Amino acid sequence: MPYIPPQVVQEVKQMDLLTYLKNYEPYELVHFSGNTYTTRTHDSLKISNGKWMWWSRGIGGRSALDYLIKVKDYSFLEAVELLAGRANIQPPLSVSEHEQIPLEKHLLLPKANRYHTNVFSYLTGRGIDDDIVRFCIETGRIYESAYHHNAVFVGMDQQRKPQYAALRGIDTNFIGEANGSDKNYSFSIPAKEMSDKVHVFESAIDLLSYATMQRLDGKEWQTEHLLSLAGVYQPAKEIEKSKVPAALARFLKEHPDVKEIVLHLDNDRIGRLATKAIQTVIPEKYHVQDQPPVKGKDCNDMLCLRLNLGLTRREKSKNQKSNRPWER
């Protein structure tokens, strides 16, 4: 058995996990939010405030040594030798959690279920047209996650690479986002051909509900752009200081032919305030229309009322989010 001097062991124990990953496995480090990080391999492992916790296994620690032993199954000697060897080759630069680490965002999509039966039944049960749901599943925009069987709504860039994913519980009130989601690329369905109009919604389900109502009215639902804002848009306290929602700003930049924006935000105080803010800050070259749902709180309410379906009420509470804030 090799001998390792006690002072080497003590030095190795001082290395925290964030410093280790930043220096020696930067490809494994993923920014989650604020001063919290996760790993590419284990997205339920969170690093924050000098500690790390692997929530799905219920184990945690402070140091890189703890991580190598508890997560990567190294023996104590193997872990010490690895850390000591790497430190000799490349002395680690200490990293503060409050420093801005220039990391590229990496979307960690939940594993897809083999079949999408539950998500198909869930969406059609909320009135969404069968063919529209099939289109979204076939194009990778919607799928069912393998473990929690959540509905996953994927936002893509112009190269059809996933950049964002909203998660919604099928049998629960859970609402969240996949780790590494970029709100610049929320769920959308661009028009088949060039269009000068984009319809804007708070959620993917409202977008799909509007598309369904277009079909019910005998209209082609892919002639104009459809864009969701990845949830509720929060304007500034002083409305004139608000910013154009990130997803809408990105979409307008990538679709310079758009001249008209139709807002279909919710019929509640927050939705009306968001509509007013967008109308205030959007550049004057765009014609903005406000078309909230005629009946109900949102477009899905309006669709369900039209089809005589029961309304689905979801309590979007922080407690609900914190119960299952990420897919494992």
- pLDDT (average), residues 47-57: 90
- Taking 60 as the threshold, does the pLDDT of residue 318 lie above it? no
Higher-pLDDT residue of 238 and 90 is 238
Q: Give the CATH number of the domain where residue 20 resides.
A: 3.90.580.10
Same domain flag for 63 and 146: no
Same domain, 134 and 219: yes
Residue 107 belongs to a domain: no
Q: Is 102 within the bounds of a domain?
A: no
Tokens of 313: 């009420």
Confidence at residue 232, expressed as pLDDT on a 0 to 100 scale: 66
| Residues 237, 126 share a domain | yes
State pLDDT tens for residues 53-80: 999 888 999 999 999 999 988 888 878 8
109 within some domain:
no
Among candidates 188, 182, 122, which has minimal Cα distance to 149?
A: 122
Q: How confident is the model at residue 249 (pLDDT cuts 50, 70, 90)?
A: very high
Q: In what order do the strands lie in the sheet with 188-189?
A: 188-189, 225-228, 197-201, 260-263, 287-290
pLDDT, position 124:
97
Predicted confidence at residue 87, as pLDDT, reads 59
Q: How confident is the model at residue 240 (pLDDT cuts 50, 70, 90)?
A: confident
Looking at the domain assignment, is residue 328 inside a domain?
no
* 110 found inside a domain: no
The answer on 197 and 82 residing in a single domain is no
Q: Which two tokens stand for residue 264?
A: 């279909």
Assigned domain for 168 exists? yes
Domain-located, residue 125: yes
pLDDT above 50 for 317:
no
- Do residues 84 and 141 share a domain? no
**pLDDT above 80: residue 314:** no
| 172 and 319 housed in the same domain | yes
In a shared domain, residues 175 and 222: yes
Mean pLDDT value across residues 30-58: 88
155 and 277 both lie in a single domain: yes
CA distances to 38, 188, 194, 224 from 150, in Å = 21, 19, 33, 28
Got the DSSP string for 107-120? --PPPBPS--HHHH
Same domain, yes or no: 55 and 151: no
- Structural domain count of the chain: 2
Predicted confidence at residue 201, as pLDDT, reads 97
Alpha helices of 163-245 — where are they, by DSSP H? 204-216
> Tell me, what DSSP letter sits at residue 166?
E
Question: What average pLDDT does range 113-138 have in this prediction?
Answer: 97
Give bridge partners of residue 262 from the DSSP assignment. Answer: 199, 289
For 152-184, write each residue's pLDDT tens digit.
Answer: 999 999 999 999 999 888 987 777 788 778 889
The residue among 39, 70, 89 that closes a domain is: 89
pTM for the structure as a whole: 0.66
- Asked whether residue 44 is assigned to any structural domain, the reply reads yes
What type of residue is 134?
A: R
Whether residues 146 and 64 share a domain: the answer is no
Q: What is the pLDDT of residues 250-300, one digit of tens each?
A: 999 999 999 999 999 999 888 999 999 999 999 999 999 999 999 999 999
* Per-residue confidence (pLDDT) for residue 9, from 0 to 100: 79
Q: 144 lies in which domain range? A: 117-323
Share of the chain above pLDDT 90, in %: 55
Residues 83 and 124 in one domain: no
Q: List, as one string, the DSSP characters of 80-98.
A: HHHHHHHHHHSPPPP--TT
Indicate whether 153 and 271 sit together in one domain. Answer: yes
DSSP 241: G
Q: Are 142 and 208 in contact (CB under 8 A)?
A: no
Q: What are the structure tokens assigned to 315, written together?
A: 């309590």
